[in-house]
A and B are shown apart, each in its own frame.
Chain A
């Protein structure tokens, strides 16, 4: 059974700081891994999708990496802004199942 863990549960940083969010998964037989952003009371917004054959993906100030052998993914946010404040979730999609398994997220607060 796939288990996904995100540590820390909450993170507070000053504006302008670079930061890394962590995602660990127990079953390396994943097809891809997806990072999302969720604002309070809203649905999830897709940020980045990394296929199992890829090592990283970049979009603007965001860079996500994937290391299947160690069961880890990271989301790097450069030059953080108050608008980046949200909960960030990762989801692992297994090759032998149709569903994705989500972590419980890291709630990020960027202080002006």
Chain B
């Protein structure tokens, strides 16, 4: 088990471009979360999946953001028409919803997005 992985680790893009991030959760974890974190703040919830179903989306997630988790495995987060305000660290976490460690979240290393 290699933990949660995210790709790419860093992304620099120009305003108006589209970007896509990938998250591979710990195998057999049925729940996957996306968060956004800016400097000096705690992670802010964006959305989460239970298997392949997207169960909740934050109001932070504008129409320019979309997330998928096909087949309940890896997940992608796409940002269309990026804006400078989208610059942040995008974090993915996974967990399983059973047993004593219900919802103990394990995080990936994050993708640092810089929009110029």
On whether the two chains bind one another, the answer is: yes
- A44 interface residue per 8 A CB criterion: yes
Taking the closest CB of chain A, its distance from the CB of B109, in whole angstroms, is 4
Q: What is the total of A-B residue contacts with beta carbons within 8 Å?
A: 63
Asked if residues B109 and A43 are in contact (CB atoms below 8 Å), the reply is yes
What class of interface size applies to chain B in its complex with A?
Answer: 20 to 34
Any B CB within 8 A of the CB of A99 = yes
- Contact indicator B103/A31 (Cβ below 8 Å): yes
Tell whether, in the assembled complex, residue A34 and residue B104 are in contact, meaning their CB atoms are under 8 Å apart: yes
Answer yes or no: A45 CB below 8 A from chain B CBs. yes
Within the complex, the shortest CB–CB distance from A33 to chain B, in Å, comes to: 10
Q: Report the bound CA distance from A109 to B11 in whole Å.
A: 30
Beta-carbon contact of B40 and A98 below 8 Å: no
Main secondary structure of the interface of A (DSSP, over half): strand
Q: List residues of chain A with CB under 8 Å of any chain B CB.
A: 4, 31-32, 34, 36, 41-46, 49, 51, 89, 91, 93, 97-105
Name the 4 nearest CB pairs between A and B, nearest first.
A102-B42, A44-B107, A99-B45, A43-B107
Question: Beyond the given A44-B43, A46-B105, could you list 14 further A-B residue pairs with CB under 8 A, ordered by the A residue number?
Answer: A31-B103, A32-B103, A34-B104, A43-B4, A43-B107, A44-B91, A46-B107, A89-B43, A91-B43, A93-B103, A97-B56, A99-B58, A100-B33, A105-B42
